[in-house]
Structure 1
């Protein structure tokens, strides 16, 4: 008898990808709590490490060196990632609002989302100043300006609002970057009160001397009154010319927190020594968004890092009924301040030291911290039994876990052989075209297309999975030129408590209903059951006003158009192996969610059309050529690829269906390259592949791109026996 896994009974939700939560995710991945479903909500794929920002500005580090990849961490931790912006919390309903989707339930909630940097009181700030956070946006803006200045397109004049440690570090880093390009920069730092007011006297004196040595002007006690495109106007009436205006001041609580009902201090979430909200015990907070009521401290990353072990322990205790731990942060800590070049000042306990060795010390500390997140390896699965049936060890010799999505399909050869046992249709109102995945029914004189598609979950986010599964199931209807009509859902949920089942099923149905409604169809019901993992599919009908577009209509001379990039199977396999970046994964998930209804309408006059799914571009193109009795030539360089797919393919990443697709694609001649390997990559919710009149191809391609599709002309149909030649 097979023992099912423990059911999921508790939802732990982390809002924000701050340093504390990053360490919590890492610890969770090494020792998860059975029965707890972990969710992390973060608007971006990565959370940059603030300690290395001055080095990035100065040009010492590449941007990826600072990235804590939240997508990879979530995969490592076995967590579902919701790439969205938190809009609010309802502690009575125990839900988190996320932009563009239904609220997310929680039993235990933890907050670590940082601070806001808006300064709405300053006229012109929003239009002309660049806050240091979000860091990615700031770094991009700074890079553009620095490159423009280096090329002589802008005067190297910069104003930095805020003369705390962060503002002073940023000003000296900018000075170094611009000086390194051969310019003499003019930089000013502006502070409404006293510069470096939170710094010990010796360190303050050294930092002020470093500013003076570089000719960086300091304006103290003179608040900013207005910001324009080329200057900062101070309250005294003085004007500071600048082509780039950075702001390291004005850190404040994010505005939506005020409406949560949580106990706050000056807008920060008030927590006690267990890092638990003083008003709502099921809510925890750490990092910059938290106020330690028992031991107030300045906003500093060192506290976020050192709170992580206690927060991890206490979240586990809240989920399991264990005993929480108390945390009181230290009163003093080492401060290492970059000086632009590869020098730094170190200060603790009133002492201050500086030099190149201090910068190297800081660099080693920063790089050691980041290695915790860059050097992730998948946790080992269950050990293989010593005694197995013959052939079991060879079935997956490299130990790669099976892919999901369309990567979980049966190989094309096995499927074709199995379908040979089906008898020929005998009903006059049922048509089954060779190679086409949908049936055509005649009902009362109308033509109805019927198809079904199911996916084994490749993401733990039910909302995203449901949207992709709906787009995927609609593919055959769109490819045959039919208008979507109705859908039935088939849902297998993992074993979980009734409250989690209801919330998960609600997410699935809401997401699916949204996709089908936009396509003009109705979700009319379905079937649900439990199983060891989530599987989701839809049976879809569509109405064809004219003869359906089949695989068999391609003609020599036709142009081949593809409406989406390929490579989703490789990127998803790379994510499973922790080798894909967060940006690559989120970009792939976004592409998979793009509906193809508008593209199908544009391609309504195609001679032949199919959706590119599990058998890969080569397999589906080969099936079209076999059905049409023609051949195809493909321009490999013209085939659009998802970001990261070719890199991962070159590194040897393959979907577990790749070998079967290559074997079953029919006669294909292709070079031995990473890009060519992607032709056999199984696609989930892939694009439409259409054979169209060559005279119409350019206009159709223009219309597809205007409609938002990353479409391309990838080749030509030619006369000859069915085969695909890739150049």
Structure 2
């Protein structure tokens, strides 16, 4: 029986926002995807903070990672493309969603779950001296940094509802447990806890008294300054950390989308559809006009199964379901320590048992995203040819440079074909590009192609373009012309056009910024996305591998670790924030770095063969050796932990064989890690090294001195 080809994708479903309902939809979608649908998620952050555990995190009961739903891992699990950006507009007529810095995203069906934001920055001085409670991720990061400090701390919360009281109690508990609490103040322009029954308000006030929280009611705030909250009464409240938990509001851009709105919120019907049937909405950004309810996460969570059904139905022409919200819900209010208050319909009581119950509910919710089930690998056909299992190996095939052929096999194959066949071609064995002479001008020629390692074609195009441009930069040349080679997976005609438009717009922008023009290309259909560029560049004198001198200082312009992080992502072991940082690093242009390094004696870029492999090429061409200072070599966030855990990319073993005498224990494994769109490695005269390094760092590069060139030809010593 022959294997079937992947089914073509025909429809685009785009989820705007990584709120609780969308996170649940993604997980449920993975268990039963709808064939033919390309799923896209748009969110500005790689992780979404879970609101239910925020007070526990603030109090110190949970760590920062406990709070986050890792959207990168979740998207990888689902097979969705994750676009890390903030949506700014939806055009229902053109069916496009606009995200700054990239081409519009076309949708057939869309859903919005972006939560709400804060009006607090409109208060004079708040933007400079306060922190809004929403968005949660930003607040959590700011609080985490503040509570880790030293010395007495004065804190305040503006907003005396349940959310505000939970936060001030949690903050007070965290600082008291560190013997840092100097004062805590809760301020509201009306009565504190006015939406809570008198009995429960009294219970919460007792908790505030226990932590010494001063409650200031019926107070108007005029402005904030450094360390002060200024009241209309003339009083000034001292505060080193001021959080704003009042004045939540919807995001302004929603009002410009042509949808029916109420007080800035998107109106939805019982099917969770907006006034445009192709757009759904859920969570706090939506207004259930058919059954008005307060803004609470419990409704978003319970909307998720209905939303999933209706999205699938809208994409496949099936009937929709109605969502029927409950009339009331149980509110579990954290009281600072591991104690909680239960409130429903005005009745309630407080107990440590309730906190343990709340913790169990929250942990069960988060476990849905922490322990994503492993998808079973299909068994090999029986019978099958000998060697098939060995050829497949035990690791998934990496993308980017992790999927390349090893250096030993490649050089052995190419070496017989690198001789000069023409007078206008100068062979440069082992270098990044060929050198041509055209009418007296020197021109370099290079080509590079990458198997996709992320689902987003825009990000993949940026990485592939920068990766290819690095070969031109490494030769000291100026990019001139480019042709694009593209293999697309099977898509419908409309999705082909959408994908091509995104890729071409991105490629044009990257090449234009580099000073090059796209002059042509070739497309074909294959099993998966592959993007490549063939480039020419002009130079006065090529910068080759064969110029390094003993005493030269080795400079590296990017940290190592992209291969290990991408392999960790495929294995579900890499943190989403670390992957987002690595992708941003891979998209960083080396144009300015190459200009700063124009006086280097020798230069290459660090890509598929790893730092050791590319350094050996430079040493061989220059007939010198090198000493590397391992501790000075910059490494991407999270790469060390993955190295210690034994995560390796597909080509790692081939790279390791290039220098079997060198240790690869622990972080040293990163020396053999294949890099995609890696940094430039340059041998610079010692009297210019410090000034060159400073210029690189001032230009925004994570550059470092990592060693020096020695007399011992071909030898690499680690220290």
Task: Name the counterpart of 2:514.
Answer: 519
1:688-727 maps to which residues of 2 (within 5 A)?
688-727=680-719
Give the conservation status (yes or no) of the 8 Å contact 1:107–1:282: yes
Name the structure 2 match of 1:632.
626
SS at match of 1:336: strand
Q: Does 1:652 align with 2:652?
A: no
Question: How far, CA to CA, are the matches of 2:281 and 2:237 in structure 1?
Answer: 39
Q: What is aligned with 2:673? A: 681
Residue among 601, 608, 619 paired with 2:613: 619
Report the counterpart of residue 80 of structure 1 in structure 2: 81
Q: Does 1:281 align with 2:277?
A: yes
Q: Which residue of 2 aligns with 1:554?
A: 548
- Cα distance in 2 for partners of 1:84, 1:136 equals 15
Please state whether the residue corresponding to 1:529 is helix, strand or coil.
strand
**Aligned-pair Cα RMSD in Å:** 1.7
SS in 1 for 2:386: coil
Hey, what does 1:375 align to over in structure 2? 371
Question: Deviation of residue 633 (structure 1)?
Answer: 1.5
Tell me, in whole angstroms, the C-alpha distance in 2 between the residues paired with 1:444 and 1:626: 32
| Maintained 8 Å contact 1:516/1:523 | yes
Q: 1:172 — aligned with what?
A: 169
Paired position in structure 2 for 1:366: 362
Structure 2: how far apart are the matches of 1:466 and 1:145? 39
Matched residue of 2:678: which SS? coil
Taking structure 1 as reference, are residues 645 and 377 closer, same or farther at Cα in structure 2, changes over 3 Å only? farther
Distance in 1 (alpha carbons) for counterparts of 2:496 and 2:165: 52
> Structure 1 stretch 3-12 or stretch 134-143: which is displaced more?
134-143
Is the counterpart of residue 261 in structure 1 residue 258 in structure 2?
A: yes
State the Cα distance separating 1:50 from its structure 2 match: 1.0
TM normalised by structure 2 equals 0.97
Structure 2 counterpart of 1:356: 352
Deviation at 1:237, TM superposition (A): 4.7
Which of 213, 217, 223 is equivalent to 1:216?
213
Deviations 1:306-334 (A, max 9, x none): 11111111111111112221111111111
Change (3 A) 1:558 1:189: same
1:318 paired residue number: 314
Q: State the 1:228 CA deviation.
A: 2.8
Q: How does 1:237-636 map to 2 (within 5 A)?
A: 237-277=234-274, 279-398=275-394, 400-422=395-417, 424-546=419-541, 548-636=542-630
Distance 1:622 1:147 in 2: 44
Q: Distance in 2 between matches of 1:456 and 1:672?
A: 27
Deviation at 1:377, TM superposition (A): 3.9
Assess, with a 3 A threshold, how the Cα gap between structure 1 residues 207 and 557 changes in structure 2: closer, same or farther: same
User: Following the alignment from structure 2 to structure 1, what is the Cα–Cα distance between the partners of residues 315 and 118?
Assistant: 34
Q: Which moved more, 1:199-208 or 1:111-120?
A: 199-208
Q: 1:362 to 1:597 in 2, by over 3 A?
A: same
Q: Which residue number corresponds to residue 54 of structure 1?
A: 55
Distance 2:67 2:529 in 1: 34
Matched residue, 2:16: 15
Distance 1:655 1:539, change over 3 A: same
TM-score (norm: length of structure 1): 0.96
Which residue number corresponds to residue 140 of structure 1?
Answer: 141
1:217-256 CA-to-partner distances (Å, cap 9, x unmatched) read 2233334333333333344555433232211111001011
Could you tell me which residue of structure 2 aligns to residue 643 of structure 1?
637
Determine the C-alpha separation between the residues in 2 that align with 1:541 and 1:54.
Answer: 57
SS at match of 1:342: coil
Indicate if the aligned counterparts of 2:435 and 2:444 stay in contact, CA closer than 8 A: yes
Judged with a 3 Å threshold, the aligned counterparts in structure 2 of structure 1 residues 443 and 325 are, in CA distance, closer, same or farther, namely same
Structure 1 segments, 4+ long, off by >6 Å, are none
Match of 1:89 in 2: 90
> Offset at 1:143?
3.6
Q: Distance in 1 between matches of 2:409 and 2:35?
A: 37
The answer on whether the counterparts of 1:669 and 1:726 sit within 8 Å (CA) in structure 2 is no
Compute the displacement of 1:206 (Å).
1.4
In the alignment, the residues of structure 2 paired with residue 524 and residue 331 of structure 1 have an alpha-carbon distance, to the nearest angstrom, of 63
Q: Does the Cα contact within 8 Å between 2:120 and 2:244 map onto a contact in 1? A: no
Give 3-state SS (helix, strand or coil) of 2:248's partner: coil
Q: 1:228 aligns with which of 225, 228, 241?
A: 225
Displacement of 1:677: 1.1
**Conservation of the 8 A alpha-carbon contact between 1:30 and 1:379:** no
Within 1, Cα distance between the matches of 2:333 and 2:236?
29
What is residue 186 of structure 2 aligned with on the other side? 189
- Partner in structure 2 of residue 671 of structure 1: 663
Of residues 112-121 and 485-494 in structure 1, the stretch that sits farther from structure 2 once superposed is 112-121
After superposition, the C-alpha distances for 1:608-646 in whole angstroms (9 at most, x for unaligned) are 111111111111111111122222211111111111111
Partner SS, residue 367 of structure 1: helix
Does the aligned pair in 1 maintain the 2:432–2:474 contact within 8 Å?
no
Report the alpha carbon displacement of residue 425 of structure 1 after superposing the two structures with TM.
2.1
Q: CA offsets per residue over residues 125-149 of structure 1, 9 Å max, x none?
A: 322221112223223333444344x
- Asked whether the equivalents of residues 432 and 472 of structure 2 are also in contact (C-alpha less than 8 Å), the reply is no
- Please name the residue that 1:99 is paired with: 100
In 2, the alpha carbon distance for the partners of 1:532 and 1:672 equals 35
Aligned length: 718
Instruction: Give me the whole-angstrom Cα distance separating, in 2, the residues matched to 1:306 and 1:389.
Output: 50
Contact 1:618–1:668 at 8 Å: present in 2 too?
Answer: no
Asked if 2 retains the 8 angstrom alpha-carbon contact of 1:489 and 1:537, the reply is: yes
SS in 2 for 1:566: coil
Instruction: Quote the Cα distance in structure 1 between the aligned partners of 2:485 and 2:209.
Output: 69
Distance 2:405 2:367 in 1: 39
Please give the secondary structure, in 1, of the residue aligned with 2:534.
strand
Return the offset for 1:671: 2.3
Equivalent residue for 1:129?
130
Structure 2 distance, partners of 1:151, 1:451, is 58
Which sections of structure 2, spanning at least 5 residues, go unmatched?
A: none
SS of the aligned residue for 1:68 comes to strand
Give the CA deviation at 1:532: 1.4
Which residue number corresponds to residue 31 of structure 1?
32
Q: Which residue of 1 aligns with 2:110?
A: 109
Deviation, structure 1 residue 181: 2.5
SS in 1 for 2:701: coil
Which digits, 9 at most, give the CA deviation of each residue in 1:550-571, with x for residues without a partner?
Answer: 1122222221111111111110
Structure 1 gap ranges (5+): none
Contact 1:551–1:627 (CA<8 Å) still a contact in 2? yes
- Distance of 2:709 and 2:660 partners within structure 1: 14
User: How many Å apart are 1:669 and its aligned residue?
Assistant: 3.5
